[in-house]
Structure 1
Amino acid sequence: MRYFSRLLVILWTVYRYGLDDLALSTLKRRRFRFLRSLITLGRAWEQPRGVRMRLALERLGPIFVKFGQLLSTRRDLVPPDMIEELSKLQDAVPPFPAAQSRALIEQAFGRRIEEVFEQFDAEPVASASIAQVHFGRLHDGREVAVKVLRPGMLDIIEDDLALLRTLAGWVERFSADGRRLKPREVVAEFNTYLHDELDLVREAANAAQLRRNMDGLDLVLVPEMVWDLCTSQVIVMQRMRGVPISQVQRLREAGVDIKKLARDGVTIFFTQVFRDGFFHADMHPGNIQVSLHPATFGRYIALDFGIIGTLTEVDKDYLAQNFIAFFRRDYKRVAELHIESGWVPPQTRVDELEGAVRTVCEPHFDRPLKDISLGQVLMRLFQISRRFNVEIQPQLVLLQKTLLNVEGLGRQLDPELDLWATAKPFLERWMDEQVGWRALARQVRDEAPRYAKLLPELPRLLHDALRQRAGGDAERTMRALLQEQRRTNALLQGLIWGVLGFTLGLLAAQFWNWH
């Protein structure tokens, strides 16, 4: 009943804010126009559609807010008036009361807030779907940011995920395309990431790992965690000062090289994905700032590490080979990789899949980013995947989402950026490090401690192996001799019993003749 009531809330919210009208307005067939007229009969809205969309998503909760955050980066798919409103979801979700935030902090630390902070700003500086942030200063003078988890989030998310699981089950049951898209596995992945985001200690650990990975790249700053003040509901970190990356004009007036900033964003993304296999997977503009401090001028500042994506070595190798094949327009290799990986049935003809991929990708090369719509490319690829029964890989859902974020960010910073040309040299260098002589040298270096331990033991291990082999041969020989001896004994026993029986027979016959 709780899930049913949540479904009613969603349907009522859709009806109240006219989202059904927005959905039907995109359908041009006559019967849909009639249905729209019937549904909207007697209904009118004072607020613009973008405001209605934002308010509805805010009312529906964190999962829907995150969906709106993703839409806010897609200026090629969403009208400008809706983009402006959805962008407010980045860091302007209505906050919960300051007194409640203070109580949560004191409960987490087990002491009064004045004992922890020399100064604490009661009003939050940012309020997002999962938590809100306050600024403060510790007694040792360090300026910090305090992130507090929204109360009651777990129950809300559980209800929404239960509805998503039910919907995914219906899709798989009634749609062949749905089964191919693996919606239940996708929901399971989403479930994992959302629950990870509800544990702020895990977020702090993600930030620490990303900070170590990015150390030395000199392109991005990650706040340092105050581990003594990190709990599952409240974490305290170094305060970062920067300008939101969405304020492009302000950055340009401050002297930031916007074109370089766009290229650096691509480099950071591919470094995290292909070098580390550990990437920030919530890269909407609300989570990214740019430093104007002289010592770190022009560097990215990453915030909010609740959603982190990971890739295995197999995933990274597969993706890198696909990217390079795309960049080189080697569509045959792309088709072969899909077949080798098992994404398409093994009986698929390589030449047919190659031609389909070429049809989608070829028109988009040698064009600036402003003229390339990844949304349109994905739509065409979906049509191809349906034709060739391509299975969507759930473990790559976060990577696909992050790619959309990177495209939206790149379009905002530099519409002339050629994403493909920027990424190609980086990927080629990465592949050379993975499969070339440098990869062999690195593997030998990494394995050297193990080799150093095993080499002195090698003669003894070899001797033991030979002795076991020899012992095994001797044992097999002994078993064969015993088996042969048993056969010989059985034969001799048979002969003895045969002779004895024959002799007894002769004696019996002689005795009969005497009588």
Structure 2
Amino acid sequence: MTSVRRDRADPVPGAGSTRARYRRILRFAAWHLAVTWWFELFLPRVGLGKIAERTRTTRMRRFARRFHVLAVDLGGLMIKVGQFLSSRLDVLPPEITKELEGLQDEVPPVPFPAIRPLAEAELGAPLDKVFASVEEMPIAAASLGQAHRAQLLPANAADAGLHSVVLKVQRPGINAIVDVDLAALRKVAGWLSHVRLVSDRADMPALVEEFAQISLEEIDYLHEAANAERFATDFADDDRVGVPEVAWEWSTRRVLVLENVAAIKITDAEELLAAGIDPAQVAPVFASVMFDQLFSSGFFHADPHPGNIFVTPASNATAGRPWKLTFIDFGMMGEVPASTRSGLRKLLIAAASRDGKGLVAAIRDVGVLVPSADTAELERAMTHLFARFGGMGFAELREVDPREFLDFAVEFGDLVRSLPFQLPENFLLIIRAMSLTSGVCSSLDARFNLWDAVEPYAAQLLRDERGNIVQDVAKQALDAAGVALGLPKRLDGLLTRIEDGSLSVANPRLERQMARLDRTAQRTAAALVFGALLIAGSVVRGDDTLLGNLLMIASLVPLLHGLWAGRRGL
């Protein structure tokens, strides 16, 4: 959720307004698709490509401004789409991402009189029968709901073990809005699937369905409450992390009551310094906690923007640590399967050791590259990247001549675009989480070097992997011993079956097993993407927007385009 603006209200949509909403989204998309077709496809074909190049920046800004207006006016999932676009610094130009950054802070609240009936209907009682007080002005508003400070009645506080709470309520009519927005997005995705410029790089219908699943989970507050408890369990023994308790007695699909854990916003440097906390010391802890989620538990907060993370001083934190990180808003969470996590660890270790050849070997081992792929040039590209830019902090990167990054993109861009990579599952959430994590760390400390956080973490992963290898060898030895002990009996049974003619050599499950192996190979594709993004994040994210974009291009924008292109062959 984000801070609120008090100058607008969000009306409950009727049937007429939802139809108008649907048509407005489609008109916006159709117009800009037509403009893009004219400039990016038609003009180059008739020898007027230079006109498209000269006007591209202006057109990008105009599109971003118009989408910004549309999203703020319509709200709903249009805000979420804008927020996802604003975090895609890896593939989108700064003309778009910079304009859409403000959508994190421009969601208008719903007046409390419109919120109260929904809350009371969900709770099954008037608010004054549950709460001693509720602040009518929300402390935060998001595209799908908003939050109000409240105090439970003494009896209820005793039952819940909580007194000061946050009452989170969905926006009235949000279910109808989500349905309409998803219908419009599916229609637009269908159009895009017939545009070769897009379909060669992304499976838009599949991406929209992934976005739909994320959005539908976000409007189920019981799902969010369960996520909060699971996250708390993962970090139960970690005094670096805090999670609000859930008041299940007064929580439903559309109303959520949580412990009020508001403290210092993670990027509020002045407040941190006033509390005796050095922002530069917060960055590596935050990065490490996010690494733990991705590489250890596999269950990660996919929306770690500054409004969702507090730094809680020692007076409210676990004794023995001067402060802790308190996460809120668990509506958007992601999961990394165990098989993929193993691949991610290997890639992280290769990236942390700046081993370009090892990184490509790890990519090949997890089955992301087809056997015929020429990896020699890719190894040279990775080695060159690590040798020149590996280990640099953001401040050092700002001093590098931008022409060096452009030279890298020119030299290796066509190569990595041509390689047959596959698009991974959970792509939207992983890229969003890592992009936001990198942004928060760089805002806490301009000289923060991601390698300083990656290298010790990778070293620990390597030690863990070695321990796992020892355990696996021991287990395999025991299994082999068991097989050896049972072998005489099994051979005797086999000879008996051969003699009486009852031996069957058919294997009806082979086809299913092959299909399962194929699915496993596709899932491991996620390992490549994160490895590439990790490298990109290590050399990107300076404060200067233009230079940040150049760094992203140098840090494997072409690779990501290759990933999109590989999707079509799935």
Q: TM-score, normalised by structure 2?
A: 0.68
Deviation at 1:198, TM superposition (A): 1.1
Quick check: 1:401 aligned with 2:426?
A: no
Distance in 1 separating the partners of 2:218 and 2:253:
10
8 Å contact from structure 1 (residues 173, 179) kept in 2: no
Code of the residue aligned with 1:355 in structure 2: it is R
CA pair 442-133 structure 1, distance change in 2 beyond 3 A: farther
CA pair 128-330 structure 1, distance change in 2 beyond 3 A: same
Find 2:499's aligned residue among 474, 477, 480.
477
Match of 1:392 in 2: 423
Deviation at 1:474, TM superposition (A): 4.1
Match of 1:326 in 2: 351
Please list, as runs of the form range in 1=range in 2, the aligned pairs for 1:109-258 lying within 5 A after superposition: 109-140=123-154, 141=157, 142-175=163-196, 178-258=199-279
Quick check: 1:436 aligned with 2:478?
A: no
CA pair 114-34 structure 1, distance change in 2 beyond 3 A: closer
8 Å contact from structure 2 (residues 86, 96) kept in 1: no
Q: Which moved more, 1:105-114 or 1:27-36?
A: 27-36
Deviation at 1:362, TM superposition (A): 4.1
Please give the per-residue CA displacement for 1:198-253, whole angstroms capped at 9, x wherever unaligned.
11101011111111112222222110111111211111110012122232222223
Q: Which moved more, 1:291-300 or 1:253-262?
A: 291-300
Match of 2:310 in 1: 289
Distance in 2 separating the partners of 1:245 and 1:49:
32
Match of 2:120 in 1: 106
CA pair 423-93 structure 1, distance change in 2 beyond 3 A: same
8 Å contact from structure 2 (residues 167, 256) kept in 1: yes
- The SS at the match of 2:313 is coil
8 Å contact from structure 1 (residues 182, 394) kept in 2: no
Distance in 2 separating the partners of 1:382 and 1:198:
41
Match of 1:339 in 2: 364
Code of the residue aligned with 1:350 in structure 2: it is T
Question: Structure 1: which 5+ residue stretches go unaligned?
Answer: 40-47, 481-515
Deviation at 1:399, TM superposition (A): 1.0
Code of the residue aligned with 2:326 in structure 1: it is I
Distance in 1 separating the partners of 2:384 and 2:248:
52
Find 2:286's aligned residue among 246, 250, 265.
265
CA pair 99-177 structure 1, distance change in 2 beyond 3 A: closer
Distance in 1 separating the partners of 2:120 and 2:266:
33
Deviation at 1:5, TM superposition (A): 4.9
Distance in 2 separating the partners of 1:71 and 1:196:
20
Distance in 2 separating the partners of 1:351 and 1:34:
38
Match of 1:9 in 2: 24
Find 2:445's aligned residue among 399, 414, 419.
414
Match of 2:547 in 1: none
Distance in 2 separating the partners of 1:151 and 1:185:
29
- The SS at the match of 2:436 is helix
Question: Structure 2: which 5+ residue stretches go unaligned?
Answer: 1-15, 44-48, 158-162, 399-404, 503-570
8 Å contact from structure 2 (residues 75, 107) kept in 1: no
Please give the per-residue CA displacement for 1:461-502, whole angstroms capped at 9, x wherever unaligned.
969x94x8756644553459xxxxxxxxxxxxxxxxxxxxxx
Q: State percent identity of aligned pairs.
A: 27
Code of the residue aligned with 2:150 in structure 1: it is G
CA pair 430-103 structure 1, distance change in 2 beyond 3 A: same
Q: Which moved more, 1:94-103 or 1:2-11?
A: 2-11
Distance in 2 separating the partners of 1:384 and 1:371:
27
Please list, as runs of the form range in 1=range in 2, the aligned pairs for 1:1-150 lying within 5 A after superposition: 5-6=20-21, 8-10=23-25, 29-30=50-51, 54-69=68-83, 89-90=103-104, 92-140=106-154, 141=157, 142-150=163-171
- The SS at the match of 2:426 is helix
8 Å contact from structure 1 (residues 277, 311) kept in 2: yes
Distance in 1 separating the partners of 2:56 and 2:393:
41
Number of residues of Structure 1 aligned to a counterpart in Structure 2: 450
Match of 2:559 in 1: none
Match of 1:357 in 2: 382
CA pair 226-92 structure 1, distance change in 2 beyond 3 A: farther
Deviation at 1:174, TM superposition (A): 3.4
Code of the residue aligned with 2:276 in structure 1: it is G
Deviation at 1:312, TM superposition (A): 1.0
Give the superposed CA RMSD: 4.3
**Highest Rg: 1 or 2?**
1
Distance in 2 separating the partners of 1:221 and 1:322:
29
Deviation at 1:282, TM superposition (A): 0.3
Please give the per-residue CA displacement for 1:55-81, whole angstroms capped at 9, x wherever unaligned.
432224333323444566689988799
8 Å contact from structure 1 (residues 181, 391) kept in 2: no
Distance in 2 separating the partners of 1:112 and 1:363:
64
CA pair 34-462 structure 1, distance change in 2 beyond 3 A: closer
- The SS at the match of 1:90 is helix
- The SS at the match of 1:436 is helix
Match of 2:46 in 1: none
Distance in 2 separating the partners of 1:244 and 1:366:
29
Match of 1:348 in 2: 373
8 Å contact from structure 1 (residues 71, 78) kept in 2: no
Deviation at 1:402, TM superposition (A): 1.0
Distance in 2 separating the partners of 1:179 and 1:117:
55
Q: Which moved more, 1:250-259 or 1:87-96?
A: 87-96
Code of the residue aligned with 1:10 in structure 2: it is I
Distance in 2 separating the partners of 1:128 and 1:213:
26
Please give the per-residue CA displacement for 1:275-331, whole angstroms capped at 9, x wherever unaligned.
110110001112122223524243222111101111011211111211221222221
8 Å contact from structure 2 (residues 377, 415) kept in 1: no
CA pair 397-212 structure 1, distance change in 2 beyond 3 A: same
8 Å contact from structure 2 (residues 349, 461) kept in 1: no
Q: Which moved more, 1:62-71 or 1:105-114?
A: 62-71
CA pair 193-368 structure 1, distance change in 2 beyond 3 A: same
8 Å contact from structure 2 (residues 241, 326) kept in 1: yes
Match of 2:5 in 1: none
8 Å contact from structure 1 (residues 220, 302) kept in 2: yes
Deviation at 1:29, TM superposition (A): 4.3
- The SS at the match of 2:136 is coil
Q: Which moved more, 1:422-431 or 1:165-174?
A: 165-174
Distance in 2 separating the partners of 1:469 and 1:151:
70
Distance in 1 separating the partners of 2:443 and 2:139:
24
Deviation at 1:422, TM superposition (A): 1.4
Deviation at 1:157, TM superposition (A): 2.5
Distance in 2 separating the partners of 1:279 and 1:15:
36
Q: TM-score, normalised by structure 1?
A: 0.74
Please give the per-residue CA displacement for 1:374-412, whole angstroms capped at 9, x wherever unaligned.
xx8998897654221322213233111111101111111
Match of 2:523 in 1: none
